[in-house]
A = this chain, B = another copy of it.
Amino acid sequence: MMLNIAKRAKVASQLLSLLSTGVKNDALLKMAEALAKNSERILEANAQDVEVAKARGVRLALLDRLILTEKRISGMSQCLRETAVLPDPIGEIIKTSTRPNGLIIGQIRVPLGVVALIYESRPNVTSDIAGICLKSGNAVILRGGSDAMNSNIVIGDILREAASSSGVPIDAIQVVSTKERSATIELMQLREYIDVLIPRGGAELIKVVKDNAKVPLIEYGEGNNHIYVAEDADLENAIDIVINAKTQRPGVCNALDKLLVHESISTTFLPSVISSLRKSNVKVKGCELTREIVPDVELATEEDWSKEYLDLIISVKVIKNLTEAINHINKYGTQHSDAILSASFEKAWRFIREVDSATTYWNASIRFTDGNQFGLGAEVGISTQKLHARGPMGAEQMTTTKYFILGHGQIRE
């Protein structure tokens, strides 16, 4: 069955790659409208998913991600409308040069072809990614979480129908409707038909994909993220940023895990930031020096420094200088999102250049690492690898380029 889906996607992708911007944008607007119009049908399917999940004893945080409401569906529509007004990356001519022999050599942006997504829980991701893939001229195969399968199938049906009424091939969007693990493994291996596979989810999913995939991957990595508070930081603002980064949504990949504090401000800053964190129900661990200043902090272990918490936990370390901060982050971090808080642009720029992460911040909360916050509309995911795409991925990251060479009869001497 997966082979069939992949073959149909491949055929659709050839037509999709040639669609005009107008047709694609019209389809996106129709898709937005169709979701709104059919919200009852979506809510019904979602209620079935929620019931089954409750019966299975799925925990509250996951249940919350699964549940759709009128408001969430209207958010999905809004996201498709935002995608419609973004620039179309396809057909952009990026570079041209004329060679001494008169050949004109250029690069044009084209779709990847067929994109397969394997993701967990949240059914709104289904329409976000369908929209980005359509905008970028790719056919998409969506294998969402098993818990959300009824919701995803109904959302997929609505989007397919709406898009095809604008002239988009029906198989531009396909939702996998089997929960079979073997089918998902098969999907990861259909290299002949699928151009890229993007796993979006927890460590376990990523491991299964890495062990089994034969299709080229874009990795969606963990975030063990740092904020370094330099000696010249605005300490009041630093507390706001740390609290925001740690507590605004602790279960996501761009939340804060580690706080590094310059030693010269540690005796004043640590007591106040730790007290604020505790008021927000954050469990605080720390290095020996932290414990000298705030004695009732639990000792952080070596393992803590490498860990993504996804929870209301933080580890605090006192740092001698910028170099030690950069080295610590490059050693223990996961190259996701890291920030420096400092009054000095010189320090900040050094941090930005030398910290080897997808997103590096100066004086802001790291919670902004997100396609929507970056102005990409929605996001397909956040890449922590270096090849192809790094950081939040929007429509442009779902493209490749090809060289075109315009001659008038040249041969090579």
B-contacting residues of A (Cβ < 8 Å)?
14, 17-18, 97, 99, 103, 105, 108, 110, 112-113, 195-196, 216, 218, 234, 237, 240-241, 244-245, 248, 330, 348, 352-354, 356-365, 367-369, 373-375, 385-388, 390-392, 400-412
A-B contact pairs, 23 of them (CB 8 A): A14-B354, A17-B353, A97-B375, A99-B375, A103-B368, A105-B374, A112-B386, A113-B356, A113-B386, A216-B385, A245-B411, A248-B411, A352-B402, A358-B402, A359-B403, A361-B404, A362-B407, A363-B408, A364-B405, A365-B407, A368-B410, A368-B412, A387-B400
CB neighbours (8 Å) of A369 from chain B are 403
**Considering the complex of A and B, which 8 residue pairs feature the smallest CB-CB distances, nearest first?**
A364-B407, A244-B411, A367-B412, A388-B388, A386-B400, A359-B403, A387-B388, A237-B409
CB neighbours (8 Å) of A196 from chain B are 386-387
CB neighbours (8 Å) of A386 from chain B are 112-113, 195-196, 216, 400
- Residue among A110, A330, A352, A364 with the most chain B CB within 10 A? A364
| A367-B411 CB under 8 A given contacts A112-B386, A402-B390 | yes
* Contact between chains at B360 and A409 (CB < 8 Å): no
CB neighbours (8 Å) of A348 from chain B are 406
A385 to B191, CA, bound (A): 12
Residue of B nearest to A97 (CB): B375
A14 to B331, CA, bound (A): 12
* Contact between chains at A411 and B216 (CB < 8 Å): no
| Cβ distance A339 to chain B, nearest Cβ, rounded Å | 8
CB neighbours (8 Å) of A359 from chain B are 402-405
- 10 extra A-B contacts, CB within 8 A, seeds A196-B386, A218-B387, A241-B411: A99-B374, A196-B387, A216-B385, A234-B409, A237-B409, A359-B403, A362-B407, A363-B406, A365-B410, A369-B403
* Among candidates B18, B390, B406, residue contacting A400 with C-beta atoms closer than 8 Å: B390
A234 to B411, CA, bound (A): 14
| A103-B364 CB under 8 A given contacts A113-B356, A390-B401 | yes
| A362-B216 CB under 8 A given contacts A99-B375, A411-B240, A412-B367 | no
* Contact between chains at A412 and B365 (CB < 8 Å): yes
* Contact between chains at B103 and A409 (CB < 8 Å): no
| Cβ distance A115 to chain B, nearest Cβ, rounded Å | 11
* Contact between chains at B18 and A353 (CB < 8 Å): yes
* Contact between chains at A354 and B412 (CB < 8 Å): no
A241 to B408, CA, bound (A): 11
* Contact between chains at B409 and A363 (CB < 8 Å): yes
* Among candidates B99, B240, B402, B412, residue contacting A391 with C-beta atoms closer than 8 Å: B402
* Contact between chains at A405 and B99 (CB < 8 Å): no
CB neighbours (8 Å) of A352 from chain B are 108, 402, 404
CB neighbours (8 Å) of A97 from chain B are 375
Residue of B nearest to A254 (CB): B412
* Contact between chains at B409 and A362 (CB < 8 Å): no
CB neighbours (8 Å) of A364 from chain B are 103, 405-411
| A360-B412 CB under 8 A given contacts A196-B387, A375-B105 | no
